[in-house]
Amino acid sequence: MKKLLTDYLVVGSGAMGMAFADVLLSETDANIIIVDKHHQPGGHWNDAYPFVRLHQPSAFYGVNSRKLGSNEIDETGLNKGLYELATNGEVCSYFDQVMQRQFLPSGRVKYFPSCNYNGNGLFESLLSGAKYSVSFKKEVDSTYMDVLVPSQRPPPFEIESNAHCVPLNELPDISHRYDDFVIIGGGKTAIDAALFLLKNEVNPEQIRWIMPRDSWLLDRSQIQPTLDSIGKLFANRIIPGTESKDVDDFFGKISKAGGLLRIDENVKPTMYRCSTVTLAELEELKRIDKIVRKGRVKTISDNRIVLEQGSISSSLGTLHIDCAGDGLAKRPGTPIFKNKKITLQSVRTCQQVFSAALLGFVEATYQEDKKKNELCRPVPHPDSDIDFLKNTLADSLNRERWAKEPRLSKWLQTSRLNPESHVLKGSYRLKALSFLSKIPFLRLSNRVLETQKKANLNIKGLLNSLEAE
Ligand SMILES: Cc1cc2nc3c(=O)[nH]c(=O)nc-3n(C[C@H](O)[C@H](O)[C@H](O)COP(=O)(O)OP(=O)(O)OC[C@H]3O[C@@H](n4cnc5c(N)ncnc54)[C@H](O)[C@@H]3O)c2cc1C
């Protein structure tokens, strides 16, 4: 057994572990050991389907200290006019460069890839079997969010006899011609599978889409690091949510304003998992008419698909594409800072890397766990439509807490992982607006805060009435 000593033992070199370690390196002089089962950094991006791209701009993904991509605007394709989205390969190569060109040369990081962590400071190499025991000041668990992509697990339904079913990782490799395709799942991976087929000129008539739940979707043009985008988000998602009779009215108003999108205007979504699309992608998806809403798949046989609420025909000429996994499970929030243990979680909805970096800054800056936990309330990954309300409120309350902390506010203004920092850096319009807002009769910033407060009050009321039911 080899003995090691470190300040921080980080379990996992996925995006969150890397983003956390990066801020610790910039803000402290701590030493870090990073252990991961994967052979290179990047976590689940190493296993994701080859045609996946970031679902948000590269401009605010990765680690804080290193740019990802070149902040270019796409000139072609379905993301035209919006900030570039890194490919799977780019994300893996980026994290490898962070490790090889920054972390290791700092002399403060020791990296143990292809090693399984067994808890209590013990890990072993999956290749050589070498065993290690680490004495640490703090253990950082970046595995709690439990990210899983379809290629990493068997399908969550039965496949009988000769039926053809593949995880979407295998889609680019199929050489056999199929008569038709069945996409299984209603989330972002299913959307990616549908767009992949359509891009490759599969006739929409040949596609059936099994959608156990319809989902509310986010418009990617409202998740850009620009003033226009932030303004649109406020106008389309926050202002319409300031007054509503009930939950249906709340979603009705936001969806009418374009703050939330859906594939079928006549179906009320019950799912929300932060999936993003562009309006052009949504138009493409709407070309698929054959949407099956009969619950989850139970069994696929040679000629039938049995679902929770009925069955549909299938054949040996059909390719079933498994997109049914729960890539980002909803884990209950747990205290992030607890004595010697730090459990990385989101503190802003669906912004895992931003959250991990912020947690790194809080760890480096504040002393008491109580204070750190007050600043960093977990915002669990959403799953249902009601989670949209809960997370909007939780995000806003965390924002309020951070705004009261001068050191944290300053970090937020400069962190590239915070989309708003890009606006503050570059926009003369915003600087002019912020100057004008100091003039008492204008007070623009106060009006924004008042609107946000009104929206929070409305959401609280809606959540209370749901609880009372
Ligand atoms: C298809 C897809 C697209 C996405 N797009 C975006 C996006 O555009 N923007 C965004 O913000 N988020 C996106 N996400 C969310 C994404 O999951 C996070 O951004 C981030 O990559 C999660 O990183 P992580 O470190 O939490 O998890 P992981 O990447 O899963 O990293 C955890 C690491 O821990 C290691 N590990 C686990 N257990 C052990 C053990 N016992 N011993 C050693 N090592 C262990 C694993 O090997 C893994 O490398 C996407 C997710 C998916 C599935």
Measured in Å, residue 147 CA sits from the centre of ligand 1 at 5
Query: Which atom of ligand 1 is found nearest the CA of 17?
Result: 25
- Asked if residue 296 and residue 154 are part of one domain, the reply reads yes
Does 420 fall in a domain?
no
- Residue with the nearest Cα to atom 52 of ligand 1? 327
Confidence (pLDDT) at 341: 98
How many domains, the chain? 3
pLDDT exceeds 80 at position 28: yes
Q: Cβ(357) to ligand 1 under 6 A? A: no
CATH number at residue 283: 3.50.50.60
What is the extent of the structural domain holding 131? 2-147+331-388
Confidence (pLDDT) at 325: 72
pLDDT above 90: percentage of residues in the chain: 84
- Asked if residue 445 and residue 351 are part of one domain, the reply reads no
Q: Cβ(55) to ligand 1 under 6 A? A: yes
pLDDT exceeds 90 at position 263: yes
| Dihedral pair phi/psi, residue 136, rounded to 5° | -135, 160
Domain boundary among 339, 358, 388: 388
Query: Which atom of ligand 1 is found nearest the CA of 85?
Result: 8
Does 398 fall in a domain?
no
- Asked if residue 127 and residue 89 are part of one domain, the reply reads yes
Question: pLDDT band at residue 113, thresholds of 50, 70 and 90?
Answer: very high
Does 12 fall in a domain?
yes
- Asked if residue 168 and residue 233 are part of one domain, the reply reads no
Domain boundary among 286, 305, 322: 322
Confidence (pLDDT) at 326: 65
User: What are the pLDDT digits (tens) for 202-232?
Assistant: 999 999 999 999 999 999 999 999 988 988 9
| Dihedral pair phi/psi, residue 166, rounded to 5° | -130, 150
Confidence (pLDDT) at 97: 98
- Asked if residue 95 and residue 67 are part of one domain, the reply reads yes
Does 101 fall in a domain?
yes
- Asked if residue 352 and residue 434 are part of one domain, the reply reads no
Domain boundary among 341, 366, 388: 388
Please provide the average confidence, as pLDDT, over all residues in the chain: 93
User: What are the pLDDT digits (tens) for 294-337?
Assistant: 999 999 999 999 999 999 999 999 999 999 976 666 678 789 99
- Asked if residue 275 and residue 254 are part of one domain, the reply reads no
Query: Which atom of ligand 1 is found nearest the CA of 35?
Result: 43
Q: What's this model's pTM, rounded to 2 decimal places?
A: 0.94
pLDDT exceeds 80 at position 378: yes
pLDDT above 70: percentage of residues in the chain: 93
Q: Cβ(355) to ligand 1 under 6 A? A: no
pLDDT exceeds 80 at position 460: yes
Average pLDDT of the segment spanning 36-60: 95
Q: Is the Cβ–Cβ distance between 114 and 38 less than 8 Å?
A: yes
Does 396 fall in a domain?
no
Q: What does each C-alpha distance from 467 to 34, 131, 244, 425, 462 come to in angstroms?
A: 43, 50, 17, 42, 9
- Asked if residue 54 and residue 31 are part of one domain, the reply reads yes
Does 402 fall in a domain?
no
Average pLDDT of the segment spanning 143-151: 75
Measured in Å, residue 42 CA sits from the centre of ligand 1 at 7
- Asked if residue 295 and residue 356 are part of one domain, the reply reads no
Q: Cβ(112) to ligand 1 under 6 A? A: no
Confidence (pLDDT) at 329: 66
Confidence (pLDDT) at 336: 97
Confidence (pLDDT) at 434: 62
pLDDT exceeds 90 at position 102: yes
- Asked if residue 35 and residue 126 are part of one domain, the reply reads yes
Q: Is the Cβ–Cβ distance between 375 and 412 less than 8 Å?
A: no
Q: Cβ(54) to ligand 1 under 6 A? A: yes
- Asked if residue 105 and residue 66 are part of one domain, the reply reads yes
3-state helix, strand, coil in the chain (%, to 5): 40, 20, 40
pLDDT exceeds 60 at position 443: no
- Asked if residue 168 and residue 61 are part of one domain, the reply reads no
Q: Cβ(17) to ligand 1 under 6 A? A: yes
Q: Is the Cβ–Cβ distance between 181 and 206 less than 8 Å?
A: yes
Say which residues have a Cβ less than 8 Å from residue 453's Cβ, sequence separation at least 6.
none
User: What are the pLDDT digits (tens) for 386-440?
Assistant: 999 999 999 999 999 999 999 999 999 999 999 988 887 766 666 666 655 555 5
Confidence (pLDDT) at 402: 95
Confidence (pLDDT) at 440: 56
Confidence (pLDDT) at 428: 63
> Picking from 298-307, 355-364, 365-374, 440-449, which range would have the lowest pLDDT averaged per residue?
440-449
Does 455 fall in a domain?
yes
CA dist., res. 376 & res. 17, Å (int):
17
Confidence (pLDDT) at 268: 96
Does 417 fall in a domain?
no
